[in-house]
Chains A and B, each alone.
Chain A
């Protein structure tokens, strides 16, 4: 049953181009059926009416699929609940009187824009290097021409579920984007449509990842724990195999 709780929030506040710091706010009479972001809405409304600028945080669909939201809550990306984005984390998982520390996703490749909002455009740049099949509109053959083994299609879908939130990068001690990149590489390595470009895809995407300041993978597996969609680290192993194969062949 829903009840109301009070929390003390320590929230990272930072303006563009300035140093940031924690500020403390009280979150009062929060309904335990509310989501974490709805709790922030309530706090923001109070701040606004007190003349304090509300906390900036990124959010959109609030259904756990757009990948916009994400902050580190008490040291955990998207909070402590497994396989859950911050927007789907509900206040029933918090205790009355609890202290809650809220910070932006921290990574070298994710500079803070404001408060809890970071710049994740590096992930788009990695995709632009080959996270697609280069098929022009109008080129496609009849859809049933190529049967695809159900298990392969399912495994590709498991990888394709990535929402691009960046929690894997923030959770990694090296700030690596390996889980993110490997999910896309895997999707196309598993499906025949992705095969013509597989060698150049993995080389270019990994190259871009390095160039943008994402760290290396040292098999900590924090990424998979943090992932709200349960993307498996097996994808990283698949990326490594793809990368080695691509490096061994002269294919571009």
Chain B
């Protein structure tokens, strides 16, 4: 395997424009002859499906949900970045590009990030035209707020439900194309394998989640828009059904997997409270605009928050990072929360929480202003914890949220398997080792609305794609392998539930490959994961049958993939003996405890190639060049 990023020539600001001119086009009457499969209907998948159908392609879009509108993009709260510079605070495409490269701790590909910043403004234009009710000021113009890692206000938002509104916009566009007949929508259909013929991705195998029936679908290209792998940790802010299976099957069919160790731990989530807990809930980063984070100065101070006087509180982010204060990037905010809790200064029943306090903001702006800005978030907090954040500070703790790693893609967003594309969170491309807040929505929509509709044509126009037919042996083999695996899961008939195994794996990863990682812990995880996996296949209990709606079987099939994926994640974390962004190797830190990169040895994308079962995966390095944003130690002080 040879990785070619296909970064266009020319100055950074002209690469995308030049590239769009240079790629081959498919003429309108030929577009309708091409069938493209899109897996996933979140922001990236729905926007790509709608746009490619508008262009004339035959699009077939798959989701395991009952409706495309359920995709987890819907849960994004805070906002979407764009370089509009409406507040006149010095923003520009270049600054958004610069902040994103720096925020990613110099582990992303500059050309991709610049393109993302360029597309950001078009996204806002398009979403406003779709009738998305963004927040507005009294004059009728769009309002902005601030997010971490930026000193400008560039975040557009729709209350605390920006993801919901953007997804419903994309879902509307998709629905328009479904009605027109350009998109064939498959709901409650889970894609469980990619079919490769003559070295090209030529289709998929899917399972109908109601009847259990497996089916074969042929296409000229396959686009994965299947999200991230955060649920490998069991507890995360991801929705319960989020999984890595499609991406993992693609990896096993020849697509390289890049930087799997880059996981974003979000600083502001509601702390874990019990063994029965099934997921963690995020409290939007936007809360850090007005909330102040603190812990008591003294260790083991168990007094209620309101009895701790001002001078006995440590507003540690404001103290350590005066220029960014509570709005430092997520990786820094999370790591610092862990540090103060490890020192014994954490609060709450478990000692694994810090305060996010709105008292000062309520005094300054009035309660009504806080209700208007964050009402729904405060309500959600109250529902879950039974506490009133208007009178008592919120308690928060970091939780797994987003995964920057993903399938390796070139500038066209094609994976190393020809004809297979990856867009949105499931690729690795734009966020380096840490994603800035309000950039996931931007990337999902940039990829779907503006990038892939302009790059996929290059592949379709320059390759001969003879009809292969779903009776081709590659389809039969993939279908049989899928059926065998399901049968095998049902046949174990052991004594432990799927969740029980998933929790064991997740706990191990959180302890050994979570916010802090070291060689010893990672090696220990590498020894334990195969044992858990072996035990899973010996003792899991999956009730029911394969020809019916069977949620335990769906879950088991996904967890079986997580059991394999986890090992690659830990291997990658062990290989990368430097700290960068969300990947904090305890051996590599500055005297002040900040992440210390090692650019001489690790300024590359680590892309892993599957070498076969029970064989070591092969590491390929895509060296990263920084022409515009010079490599420096990140500082937010």
Partner of A65, one of B67, B134, B164, B169: B164
The majority secondary structure among interface residues of chain A is loop
A143-B543 in contact (CB<8A): no
Interchain nearest-CB distance for B226 vs A (Å) = 14
B47, B74, B541 interface centre (most CB from chain A within 10 Å): B74
Question: How far apart are the CA atoms of A113 and B549 in the complex, in Å?
Answer: 8
* Any A CB within 8 A of the CB of B158: yes
Interchain nearest-CB distance for B225 vs A (Å) = 15
* Any B CB within 8 A of the CB of A249: no
Interface size bucket, B side?
Answer: 35 or more
A53-B172 in contact (CB<8A): no
Contacts of A90 in B (CB 8 A): 383-384, 386
Interface size bucket, A side?
Answer: 35 or more
A23-64 residues with Cβ-Cβ distance < 8 A to B are 31, 33-35, 37-38, 41-42, 45, 48-49, 51-54, 56, 58-64
Question: How far apart are the CA atoms of A59 and B138 in the complex, in Å?
Answer: 38
Contacts of A59 in B (CB 8 A): 240
- Stretch with Cβ within 8 A of A (4 or more), from B271-279, B393-401, B578-586, B607-615: B271-279
Residue of B nearest to A40 (CB): B278
Partner of A31, one of B164, B276, B552: B276
B543-A131 in contact (CB<8A): no
A41-B134 in contact (CB<8A): no
- Stretch with Cβ within 8 A of A (4 or more), from B119-127, B306-314, B507-515: B119-127
Given contacts A160-B133, A193-B128, contact A132 B161 (CB under 8 A): no
> Using an 8 Å CB-CB cutoff, how does the interface string of A223-252 with B read, 1 for contact, 0 for none?
000000000000000000000000000000
> Using an 8 Å CB-CB cutoff, how does the interface string of A186-218 with B read, 1 for contact, 0 for none?
011001011000000000000000000000000
Contacts of B159 in A (CB 8 A): 157, 161
Contacts of A113 in B (CB 8 A): 210, 549
B234-257 residues with Cβ-Cβ distance < 8 A to A are 239-241
* Any B CB within 8 A of the CB of A15: yes
Contacts of A148 in B (CB 8 A): 136, 140
Contacts of B86 in A (CB 8 A): 144
B276-A54 in contact (CB<8A): no
Partner of A147, one of B141, B164, B549: B141
Residue of A nearest to B69 (CB): A164
Residue of B nearest to A46 (CB): B497
Contacts of B65 in A (CB 8 A): 60, 68
Residue of B nearest to A159 (CB): B133
Question: How far apart are the CA atoms of A37 and B500 in the complex, in Å?
Answer: 17
Contacts of B541 in A (CB 8 A): 48-49
- Stretch with Cβ within 8 A of A (4 or more), from B174-182, B293-301, B519-527, B565-573: B174-182
A133-B175 in contact (CB<8A): no
* Any B CB within 8 A of the CB of A156: yes
Residue of A nearest to B450 (CB): A137
- Stretch with Cβ within 8 A of B (4 or more), from A5-13, A101-109, A114-122, A171-179: A114-122
A127-B126 in contact (CB<8A): no
Interchain nearest-CB distance for A128 vs B (Å) = 4
Question: How far apart are the CA atoms of A122 and B608 in the complex, in Å?
Answer: 44
A160-B277 in contact (CB<8A): no
Interchain nearest-CB distance for A33 vs B (Å) = 5
Contacts of A51 in B (CB 8 A): 543
Question: How far apart are the CA atoms of A56 and B363 in the complex, in Å?
Answer: 48
B548-A33 in contact (CB<8A): no
A147-B140 in contact (CB<8A): yes
Contacts of B66 in A (CB 8 A): 58, 68, 119-121
Interface residues of A (CB under 8 A from B): 2, 15-16, 31, 33-35, 37-38, 41-42, 45, 48-49, 51-54, 56, 58-68, 83-84, 88, 90, 92, 113-114, 117, 119-121, 123-124, 127-129, 131-144, 146-150, 153-154, 156-157, 160-161, 163-164, 187-188, 191, 193-194
Interface residues of B (CB under 8 A from A): 47, 50-51, 54, 65-72, 74-75, 84, 86, 121-122, 124-142, 158-159, 161, 164-165, 168-169, 171-173, 175-176, 178-179, 187, 210-211, 239-241, 273-274, 276-279, 281-282, 379-380, 383-384, 386, 449-450, 453, 495, 497, 499-500, 541, 543-544, 548-549, 551-552
The list of the 10 closest CB pairs from A to B, nearest first, reads A147-B140, A132-B172, A140-B129, A157-B133, A140-B125, A193-B131, A156-B133, A143-B128, A60-B239, A137-B51
